[in-house]
Structure 1
Amino acid sequence: MPTARRAAYASEREARLTYEDRQRHAALAKADLADPRRWRYTGQRDAVRASLWLLARVEYLPGPCRPIDEQQAKRIGIVAAGAAERVERALDIAAQTRTLAQRCPCGGEIDMHGGEGRTPVAHCAGCGRIWTEAGVIAA
């Protein structure tokens, strides 16, 4: 909100223009505070609002805040990708592949495939042997 000031005016017109300008500034400040795009920390973390606010910043949508620079956008993207990966892993909706430390009897590396709600399968890169939870299914 604009601060109150006392001043000596040279004319009635100047006083009226100053008053109207202050009223306009006050109305703009009030509208800015009521804008739902403005970020407010209310003491509670709300991931939905935070992510929508960050999305608007990354998409450079107009709002009552200054635009972010390229470095900030890159950092937001890195954090968002990491969060998405953790959520997918927790919900078992992402395909995952890992190479196990244990080796096949033939000496080949064992690759484990799973995720997306499917039963995990292990595959030897050397001999082609395949394992599931039920045991060896192909040798």
Structure 2
Amino acid sequence: MTRFANPDVTGKQLWLLKSEPDAYGFDDLIAEGEGTWDGVRNHTAARNLRTMREGDLAFFYHSNIGKNIVAVAEVSVPGLTDPCDAKWAAVKVKPVAWLKTPVTLATIKATPELAGMDIVRQSRLSVAAVRPEEWALIIDMAGGLVSLS
């Protein structure tokens, strides 16, 4: 594993995207090179998708299996409509890097500085905002990022 420089988050919105790894995991995104984030049927999560801008960064969270943040993705194409239902939102994302060590939901819940995260407060929300200080702490807890290659 090659260490990957932490991306500059200045001026970017930060997010957390949840997916079941047996349905669509980070390995699937890597294999595609760019994937469409769609199928979101929650109004708050859809509003978050509509708010995303090109270049925004997102933690990739494996839900149900693992329950951990495993990687970072980047919004490559914002402002799309869901291909199955035009009343819902979608974006395209590209893989950026793995976390050196996944950060588990249990660890997040046990960290007082992360108690305000949406993943703790609104556990079913599949697309959630992340504050810069939360982002930095999670990257630190993970031991940094590593290259995809």
TM-score interval, smaller chain: under 0.3
Q: Where is the helix percentage greater, Structure 1 or Structure 2?
A: 1
- Whichever of the two has the greater Rg, that structure is 1
TM-score (norm 1): 0.19
Which structure has more relative contact order (CA 8 Å, sep 6+)? It is 2
